[in-house]
Every structure is written in structure tokens, then in C-alpha cells.
């Protein structure tokens, strides 16, 4: 089953690369990612493995999705989640960072959470929201998280900021709790923030392509 599944998905990806113009990161090994995924999906330490629990078609679709995005579970870039007998892939904070950094006009991306009593000030420049000041404190690390922010810096040094308050993060946290993720509140915040930031960066990339 292992060789059949890995070989099938790997062949599909190779076909897409050769015939449909699929481009993967030069340092990405489809085979290694698929083998890592198989080890996770066949794990029996928590009961019935996901390979047996989930429909094989959904498993193949999920692994294809993982490979097309150039993600690897060995690098904690994605999770596999069963919905009944259907398997889906959830990109992690690290996966979102990796995807954003591959965009041709993105130089860097950073995301941070803001704890209660941290110094955090926002403002506006030319009608655009910017973070004016952020000063975290070691003493505040155990205090509640009250917000988060991220920025993307393009190749020209321009930064685009995204800010998330506790209220806007609630749907993200609720979704992750429903999926029974065992993840820290910090990661829940950053997962949600990066999903917003990822959409923004893709839009920036699309606009750049159109205008060029």
C-alpha cells in the first residue's frame, strides 16, 4: 500500500510538472514529503490509522494538495485532519510562511503576537495602516494574548501590515478547537493571522503580475 500510494501520487505530480507547467521549489523533495506523510497516516499509536479510517480517494487528493503546495509534514508545515471518512490537509503557520516567501516579489514576512501590557501602537501613513511601535516584555509572556500583527516586505522594501484583534481572531480559534488541534494559543493566533496575510500577499503578487 505504501509503495502504491506514494508512487501513484508521485507519478501524478511528475505528470503535472511535465504537462501542466507545475513548478515546485528547487529544494522540495516530493518523495520525501510523501514518505513522511505516509508514516503519519499509517501511525497506529492513537488507534485506527488515518489510512484505514479515511476514503482512499480523499487521501490521494490530500497528498496531491500537499505536494502541489510544496509542503512537508516532516517540517511541521501541514496537518492531516479526518472529517468522518474524508481526509483534508491544514496548512500550518510554518507552511504559510514558506508559501508566502516563495512569491517572487516578497523579501520577508514576520508575524508576532501581542500580550497584555506590551507596548503596541498603530498609526497611518498615506492612508495605510502601519505598526508604529511594538515593545514586548519578558514579564508579559505569560499574560493573555490580546492581538497579533504581521508584515510582508516586498523586494523594494515596502511593508504591508495586517493587524488582528481578539475579536477578529475568535472564528479562527473556534475553528481550530472544533478540529481538536492540540496547539498553543500563540500558534492559533499566528495560524489565523497568516491565513489572512497569505491572501493579501497573493493579491499583491497578482496585481504586480497584471501591472507588469
Helix (H) or strand (E) holding 122, with range, is strand 119-125
Question: How many angstroms separate the most distant Cα atoms in the chain?
Answer: 58
When mean pLDDT is compared across 13-17, 53-57, 124-128, 195-199, the lowest value belongs to 195-199
Residue range 149-191, pLDDT digits in tens: 888 888 888 888 888 887 765 444 443 334 444 445 555 555 5
Average pLDDT of the chain is 80
Q: Which of 91, 110, 128 is the last residue of a domain?
A: 91
**What pLDDT band is residue 109 in, cutting at 50, 70 and 90?**
confident
Number of domains present in the structure of the chain:
2
Which residue range(s) make up the domain with 187?
95-211
| DSSP 8-state code for residue 116 | T
The string of DSSP letters for 35-91 reads HHHHHHHT--TTSS-HHHHS-HHHHHHHHHHHHHTT--GGGT-EEEEEETTEEEEEE
Q: Give whole-number Cα distances, 168 to 2, 95, 151, 174, 190, in Å.
A: 42, 22, 17, 11, 13
61, 101: one domain: no
At 160 the three-state DSSP class reads: strand
**Domain end call among 91, 124, 150:** 91
Identify whether residues 83 and 110 lie together within a single domain: no
Task: Answer yes or no: do 112 and 14 share one domain.
Answer: no
Residues 104 and 206 in one domain: yes
Chain-centroid distance of CA 134 in Å reads 24
Whole-number Å distance between alpha carbons of 159 and 153: 4
Same domain, 77 and 59: yes
Same domain, 198 and 148: yes
Better-predicted residue by pLDDT, 211 or 87: 87
Whether residue 84 is found in the same domain as residue 123: no
Question: Do 75 and 110 belong together in one domain?
Answer: no
Amino acid at each position: 500500500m505504501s509503495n502504491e500510494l506514494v508512487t501513484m501520487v508521485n507519478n501524478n505530480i511528475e505528470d503535472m510538472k511535465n504537462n501542466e507547467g507545475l513548478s515546485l521549489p528547487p529544494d522540495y523533495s516530493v518523495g520525501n514529503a510523501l514518505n513522511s506523510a505516509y508514516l503519519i497516516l499509517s501511525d497506529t499509536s492513537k488507534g485506527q490509522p488515518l489510512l484505514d479510517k479515511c476514503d482512499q480517494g480523499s487521501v490521494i487528493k490530500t497528498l496531491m494538495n500537499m505536494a502541489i503546495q510544496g509542503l512537508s509534514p516532516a517540517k511541521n508545515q501541514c496537518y492531516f485532519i479526518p472529517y468522518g471518512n474524508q481526509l483534508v490537509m491544514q496548512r500550518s503557520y510554518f507552511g504559510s510562511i514558506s508559501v508566502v516567501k516563495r512569491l517572487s516579489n516578497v523579501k520577508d514576512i514576520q508575524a508576532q503576537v501581542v500580550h497584555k501590557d506590551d507596548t503596541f501602537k498603530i498609526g497611518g501613513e498615506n492612508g495605510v495602516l502601519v505598526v508604529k511601535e511594538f515593545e514586548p516584555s519578558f514579564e508579559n509572556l505569560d499574560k493573555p494574548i490580546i492581538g497579533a500583527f504581521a508584515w510582508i516586505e516586498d523586494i523594494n522594501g515596502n511593508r504591508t501590515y495586517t493587524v488582528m484583534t481578539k475579536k477578529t481572531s475568535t472564528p479562527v480559534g473556534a475553528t481550530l478547537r472544533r478540529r481538536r488541534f492540540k496547539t498553543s494559543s500563540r500558534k492559533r493566533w499566528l495560524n489565523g493571522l497568516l491565513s489572512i496575510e497569505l491572501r493579501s500577499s497573493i493579491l499583491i503578487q497578482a496585481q504586480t503580475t497584471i501591472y507588469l
